[in-house]
Amino acid sequence: MAAVKELLRAENDGTLSFGDYTLASKTKKDNWEFAGDIYKVKTFSEITKLEKNGMFVYESVPGSAVENFKETETEVTFSVSAGGDVQFTLELEPESEYEVFIGGASAGRMTTNLSGKLSVSVELSADQGVDVRVSRC
């Protein structure tokens, strides 16, 4: 998978792609409209963060590239790549249980905290990507 050089783009299938972990300094794209919502992305080698209408959606440490990000009421799906291992955090429903799938295999069930945050660590080889699915139980 490659970094998203546009920083934030709409895909033909109605999903979003964002993030460029190859950048040496923080770069952002703000006030980007998609499907009636306003998005903002900040990204570089150390962190990638996506906000929708001023609210937290996704963050990874270190930075990552996310492709085909789709969020519904019960599920979030995307592919993530980075320069190596990555930890990402999603904003979901507070105090809810989710099953996390990495590369099609279940990584187990996890419960969000009071603020709805769910953090997952993924082992990746440099520039390798993996599909992620997080489904509410």
- Domain segments of the chain: what residues? 8-136
Q: Which of 19, 136, 35 is nearest to 77 (CA)?
A: 136
Please report, as a single letter, which amino acid is at residue 17.
Answer: S
pLDDT tens digits along 39-82: 999 999 999 999 999 999 999 999 999 999 999 999 999 999 99
Question: Among 61, 58, 31, 32, which Cα is nearest to 44's?
Answer: 61
pTM equals 0.94
Q: What is the pLDDT of residues 74-123, one digit of tens each?
A: 999 999 999 999 999 999 999 999 999 999 999 999 999 999 999 999 99
- Tokens 């934030």, residue located: 8
Q: Which fold has domain 8-136?
A: Chondroitinase Ac; Chain A, domain 3 (2.60.220)
CA distance 89 to 95: 15
DSSP 24-62: SS-EEEEEEEETTEEEEEEESSS-EEEEETTEEEEEEES
